[in-house]
Chains A and B, each alone.
Chain A
Amino acid sequence: MTSPLQQKIRITGPSIVTANRTIDGAVIYRNRASGWSTDLSDAAIVRNADEARALLAEAVADDVGAVGPYIAPVDVKEGGRIKPGNLREHIRQSGVTIDLLPVS
């Protein structure tokens, strides 16, 4: 499998590094303290390819704690609020868009 670090990195705006936590699969974000957080607002923001590559390299190095790190786009709103940059990331952050249980 091609390492994410071998892939060409192209970012067009503010981005973060996200993955799933190994022990339970929970969505996690690489934070500014070189750790992981389940809260998107803690995520470290990168704005160019070099920064993104460095943050991704740090994330990939933690193979025990996280699975499949990758770079994802975000929107940074007024006051620094971070919002997911696409529907997939919105669903990963906020959960499924449907009721969890079947209607009975």
Chain B
Amino acid sequence: MTVMDLRDIRARDAGLVGPKMARLGQLAADGWRVPDGYAVTADALDGWLPPAARGELARLFTAPAPGHGELTRLASRARELIESQPLPPAVADAVASAHARLVSRAGRGAGLRVAVRSSAVSEDGQAASFAGQYETYLGVSGADDVLRHVRRCWASGFSAHALTYRQRFGGTSPVRAADLAVGVLELVDARSAGVAFTLDPVSGDRGVCVVEGNWGFGESVVSGQVTPDHWTVDRASWRVRSARTGAKRTWSALSPDTGLVALSELPGNLAGRPCLEEEEVRYICERAAAIESAAGGVPQDVEWAVARDLPFPDSVFFLQHRPETTWTAGDSPAPPGKTAEPAFDPVRYALRNVFKVPGT
């Protein structure tokens, strides 16, 4: 199978589309409000590179463990090489028709904006060290651009960062990328977005849910580039126990230049205001707790978005969920793959924790 519509995807399909997309398909099947979309399977992308390009790629990495400067050059050549290869016609045709079906279901015209998300088949699992090494692109529109970004997702496994990570933590050959599927999902026109945890991710307290959010798309929160608004909600009474408005200076918004979602300065009138109403906070927590129950009681972290111009509670979408790893992973050396960014950003720590610059 080359491409699967989200409505046909279930939890059992994790081996085809990656656990991330499989969980989302299951959520949709169970009646949750999730964005519509489709997935290009890992099988379809397995071995898609023409033999000549594969040979070239292998040659690039024949030398043992290059230094960082050399690695950066190799990585950029590898990415150029991969991004310039056309996908096989069968894959391209299947994506084009799945995209046409999505556009017609959405009924918003051909300019429909989508998110193109890497979904590693091994992600969150045994080889989780690759999770978070692949990229996600928000705001893509049109089948041709989707195809281009599918190639970019695959090539992102060859970023200098991803290669260094593999070199240091776990060593498979750099040429052998983990099996990668790609999810294409309707982009929720988010007024606010963020993450909910069905326990306190800092203390491990399972008597509360924690919601973190910012205005705009959720990337600013997920990648840790902003101090988000923060709510703690009591799971027995669903009352908000504490609410803290973050010193938000940036947000993720559609860039007029590229059409993609990018980090930019938050308009001043939004900076000091909480991005959710209290009833939205409570609703997100209740639904996140229900997702936890459906996942067998394992604490979850859940990405949510509140759409602009839709009435509450139809406005609240769930974009993905996964086991909360801090308190459940034991001493597994695998990173949780929580973000597309590295978990430790020295600049952020230096500015926030060391230099104590307000708003960082």
Q: Do A and B bind each other?
A: no
Question: Which A residues contact B (CB, under 8 angstroms)?
Answer: none
Question: Which B residues contact A (CB, under 8 angstroms)?
Answer: none
